[in-house]
Structure formats: structure tokens, C-alpha cells
Structure 1
Amino acid sequence: MGTVPLLSDKEVSAEALAIFDDIRAVRGTDYVNNFWRALAHDPETLAATWARLKQVMAPGALDPLVKEMLYVAVSTANGCSYCVHSHTAGAKAKGMTPEMHGELIAVIGMAMQTNGLVTGLQVDVDEVFQA
């Protein structure tokens, strides 16, 4: 259960509604998801978060599918169920196949296992790996 109610278009400020309209335009959809509706209680945070997300997730040296898959991995590590679901849907929309999803989950699981082992053992970093 959320800690704030999700605001409808009729309930948000003019500033928040402008961000909602930009979300719709950028994503080519009429849907504004719950994360943005919760953030709309604080239009300044909503605007800053949306602006940064647009910049970070835009095509660049990493293509948008890779970025979505990275988001899934980090969200898994951070225990953010909402983001795992949201960015898995985003990755699928950008072309992630069931096989790719399976490999992604396997890599996440392997990294979590080896991270736990190396952290528990406090293994010193090899000199050749240090920047």
C-alpha cells in the first residue's frame, strides 16, 4: 500500500500536469504510471526526476534496451519490486526476448551469489583489476 494517494490529472497542479503531458508525448502513450502520479505531490521533485530520467535513458553509447536491462538488474539488487516490473515491461517493449530475460535473470543471480561470497570472504582486489 502506498504512503500517498495517486493523483489523477484533475487533482494535480498545472506544473505536474505539464510533466504528465510530456511523459505522454515522449512515451507515445496516454498512460501515466503510478510512480509519476505519486511524485506529483511534489511537482519540483517530479520535474527533476522526469528530466533526469529522460536524459539518462535516452539513446547514447548504450542502447535503450541495454539501459532497461541494467535498470532491472539494479532494481533487483535494491529490492525495488515496482522498478523490476516497470523496467521489465520497458525492456520487453524495446525488444527483450524471453531468452534474453532468462539470461538477464541468470546473470543477476550469479552476480548476487558471487558478490555475497567475495564480500563474506573480504577477498582483496587483484592489482591488475585496480584502476
Structure 2
Amino acid sequence: MSRIPLKSIETSCSSGAEVLSGIKKQLGMLPNFFAGLANHLGSLNGYLAFHDAMERESSLSKAQQEMISLAIANANGCHYCVSGHTLSAKAAGVVAEEARRAQKGQAEQPEDQALLTLALEVLDTRGHVSEETLAMVKAHGFSESEIVEVVGWVGLNSFSNWINNVIQPKIDFPVVPIQE
């Protein structure tokens, strides 16, 4: 049972109902995350705008985005997001073992490892990333723009993780355990 009630299309304000209807139409379902986030229309609209802008302007692959999402969700202890992003990662071509490793901040490809190292250091240090980490990421061919993009993904994912950790909605995807 969620600690904060989930909004439905029927129980949301008219503006919220329109947004939730659009999400349901796009995804074929209304994930509980969005139903919880709909308790505050500004947070719902802000999240959607940030997410859309990040995806539209991303130079990272969808698989890399999902690996970052998995690492951050696992680090933030968000069971809901680990489960949801494992499903999204699979759709992006990330196999189950790669997804489990990403949760732990590990990747087989050196470039992907550099991104996960950066993302987790951003989270752990609240953005006070070391010069060595920045140099390492640049040495793997990532630009300043891509470094800032990783920070954006960390922020966006942390926001959704924290919302889910506060609300604790029922997981409406195949449940995937958090990795230790």
C-alpha cells in the first residue's frame, strides 16, 4: 500500500487527468510512479519536461542512459526504479547480467564504466567530482556536454527515486531485487 495515495485519471484535477491520460496512452498503462507524482501537478509536469528534454538532446545511447538509471536507482535504494529500469534496459538491448552489473556500478565496456563511475561519484559527492574522474571520463572520449548530461541523468533519476522512496507505490513491473 502506498504511503501517499496514488492519483488516477478520475481522481486527479482536470489538468492532471489530461497529463495522466497522455502517459497511459503513450505507455499502454499508467505506472504507479506517475500516479504518485500526480499529487503535485508542478512536480509531474516538471519531471516530464526534464525527462523529455534529456532524451531529446541526449548523445548517450539508450542503453547507457538505462545503465546510469540502474546504478543511481540501486544506490538510492529505489526498488521501484530498479524494477522499472531493468525492463526499460532490456528494451534498449541490455541483457539481464549487464543490468545487474550496472546496478552495482559495473560495466564490461570501458566507456560505459567511465559513465557509471562518473554518475555514482556525482551522486556520492553531491557533484564535487574529482579532477581525476573528470580526466578519466574525458580520456574515454566524452565531451564536456556529455559530462553535464550525466549530471542531468543523475538528478532526474534521483528525483524519481526519492519520490518513489517517499510514496512507496506498488511495483507494477516485474520485480527485480536491489543489488548489494
Task: Name segments (4+ residues, structure 1) moved above 3 Å.
Answer: 105-109, 127-131
Aligned length: 117
1:104 aligns with 2:102: yes
Q: After TM superposition, give the deviation of residue 91 of structure 1 in Å.
A: 0.7
What amino acid maps onto 1:19 in structure 2? V
Measured in 2, the distance between the counterparts of 1:2 and 1:95 equals 31
Offset of residue 130 of structure 1: 6.8
| Amino acid paired to 1:45 | S
What is the TM-score when the length of structure 2 is the normalising length? 0.54
Show the counterpart of 2:6.
Answer: 6
* In 2: Cα distance, 1:128 partner to 1:15 partner: 47
State the identity %: 27
So what's the TM-score if we normalise by structure 1?
Answer: 0.71
Counterpart residue type for residue 30 of structure 1: G
Greater Rg over alpha carbons, structure? 1
Q: What corresponds to 1:79 in structure 2?
A: 77
Matches within 5 A, 1:1-131: 1-25=1-25, 28-58=26-56, 60-105=58-103, 107-108=105-106
Aligned-partner SS, 2:34: helix
2:140 match: none
Contact 1:5 1:38 in 2 (8 A): yes
CA drift at 1:22: 3.2
Distance 1:107 1:73, change over 3 A: closer
8 Å CA contact 1:72, 1:88 repeated in 2? yes
Segments of 5+ residues of structure 2 without an aligned counterpart are: 108-115, 121-129, 136-180
Unaligned runs of 5+ in 1: 116-124
The structure-2 alpha-carbon separation of the partners of 1:20 and 1:129, relative to structure 1 and needing over 3 Å to count, comes to: closer
Partners of 2:71 and 2:12 lie apart in 1 by: 32
> Whose relative contact order is higher, 1 or 2, with alpha carbons under 8 Å and at least 6 apart?
2
One-letter amino acid of the counterpart of residue 55, structure 1: A
The answer on whether the counterparts of 1:6 and 1:37 sit within 8 Å (CA) in structure 2 is yes
Task: Confirm or deny: 8 A CA contact 2:74 2:104 kept in the other structure.
Answer: no
